[in-house]
Amino acid sequence: MLKKLTAFIISIILAVAIAIDGYLLFFKKADPRTVTTQANTNSQAVPASSSSVSSSSGSSTVPSSSGAYRDGSYTGSAVRIRWGRVRVRVLIKNGKIASVSTLEYPNTNPHDQRVSQIALPTYESESVQANSSKIQAVSGATETWQGFTKSLQNALNQSKG
Amino acid sequence: MSLYSKQIQNRTMLTVVFHEMTIPFTVQVIVAQPLTRANRLVLKQSSAIHDYMKHIDRVFSPFREDSELTAFNQGSLMFENTSQDFQTVYAISSWAEEKTNHLFSADYLGTQQYDPTGLVKGWAIEQAAKHFLFALLAEDDFIAANLIGGGDMQFATRPGSDWVWQLAIADPFDTKKIMAKLAMTSGAIASSGTVERGQHLINVAQHRAIGTQASDIISGSVISDSLAEADIWATAVTTTSISDHRWLKELDGSGMRISYGKIAERWQNNRIVDQKELIYA
């Protein structure tokens, strides 16, 4: 009987702790989508692997069952993009996305830095038809497949050089 | 899938065209000499890229009932249960919103419906180019490769080769013509604007459609080494006016913009190179 009561009390304490945790998380990130957080200022939310930052599976805390999503804080696995590694933390409150923050890991590997020469476009002295022997590709605002058959790129593709 | 072949100087350019998600894709590979083995490999990799784009559509299409994106927006798929691709794009879009000071947004019309359409194409082309196309450059006789999707491109040249891609930016007032050229070995170009689809971009940060006043941007092109980055920034710089340069200090690389009033500007290394009226456009 005493054992059962103890277990019951512990589960109540746990539930309260979880609720407080969720409340604090929400409060801390009450302003959605304006937070750029560095990894070190959020160390409590980042799993222990943050220094090595290899891809690890997402972790979640504070499960509850209201709304479309389960409330809680979901930390995605770290992904490598050109600027370094990025990990996303999504906070769900009342079944909706309350905030999204990215935890950035600066790029420390010099080999990941940009190495190519970025050219400056030069104006044509007048707007001209592309000479297919001198131009391979044309960048322009999104073209659809329907419009492609009439496009400059299609003409370049079909030309005999 | 058909393959075109033509001579450029003393090289051969192999071209494959296909479409997926209503976007036309062009695969370009420069080889030292015409070889049936090269044709076969380019067709094989083009087919792999086509399959990859079908996969991207299954994950990110806002129009498919069975996509991960739709399930996520309906609340039936938890973030923690989404795929690695989904989480990667989510991370990049949230990073991009902060970096562009919300000129770029993946929040569809402020409705909390996640819509990464503005970056998925550029990101997917970069992924596909690097995984399926640039791998060919390790082979003998393969000199350079370019993957173009709907006017955005990621290209590379084998180190030590003297090949240089000759590229152009379309004139938004007459897309049959070009208004600028550039020569580069490796990198990416993305263009954004209202020309081809005849529909307006929405500046989500301000909840308004992009206007067509003289100072509004009709077309913006960003040159970078990453197409994911170029695509995000092309969208971002197109949402501001020709006199607004708050974004400049955050944007590396180069690019150009043209306003409806035919004022063109170029920038490089975080500064404006020039701004002038295009009397001939």
The tokens for A150 are 């009439």
Q: How high is the mean pLDDT of chain A?
A: 60
* Predicted pLDDT of residue B266: 96
CA B281 – CA B279 distance, rounded (Å): 6
Helices (H) and strands (E) in chain A, counts: 3, 8
| Chain B CB within 8 Å of residue A112 CB | no
How far is residue B142's CA from residue B164's CA, in Å, rounded to a whole number? Answer: 14
Quick check: B181 and A121 CB within 8 A?
yes
B185 touches chain A (CB under 8 A): yes
Contact A137 B195 (CB under 8 A): no
Cross-strand bridge partners of residue B147: B27, B154
Alpha-carbon dihedral of residues B43, B46, B47, B53, nearest 10 degrees?
A: -170
- Give the rounded percent of residues in chain A with a pLDDT score beyond 70: 38
The Cα–Cα gap between B201 and A145 comes to 19
Task: Note the pLDDT tens digit of each residue in A134-143.
Answer: 899 999 876 6
Q: How far apart are CA B43 and CA B17, in angstroms?
A: 10
The whole-angstrom distance between A1's CA and the closest CA on chain B is: 39
* B264 vs A6, more confident: B264
Question: Hey, are the CB atoms on B177 and A117 less than 8 Å from each other?
Answer: no
How confident is the prediction along chain B (281 residues), in pLDDT tens digits per residue? 889 999 998 899 999 999 998 899 999 999 998 889 999 999 999 999 999 999 999 999 989 999 999 999 998 998 889 999 999 999 898 888 888 988 888 876 566 788 888 899 999 999 999 999 999 999 889 999 999 998 999 999 999 999 999 999 998 888 788 999 999 999 999 998 865 444 545 543 344 456 678 888 989 999 999 999 999 999 999 989 999 999 999 998 999 999 989 999 999 999 999 999 987 66
- What digits encode the pLDDT tens for the residues A30-64? 333 333 333 332 333 323 333 322 333 344 443 44
Beta bridge partners of B113: B108
Q: Furthest-apart CA pair in chain B: how many Å?
A: 56
Question: Which of A 31-70 lie inside 8 A of B, CB atoms?
Answer: 33-36, 55, 58-60, 67-70
Report CA torsion sign: A30, A32, A38, A43.
positive
> Is residue B169 less than 8 Å (CB to CB) from chain A?
yes
b (16+ CB within 10 A) / e for A74-112: bbbbbbbbebbbbbbbbbbbeeebbbbbbbbbeeeeeee
Please report the ipTM that was assigned to this predicted complex.
Answer: 0.90
B4 interaction partners in chain A (CB closer than 8 Å): 157-158
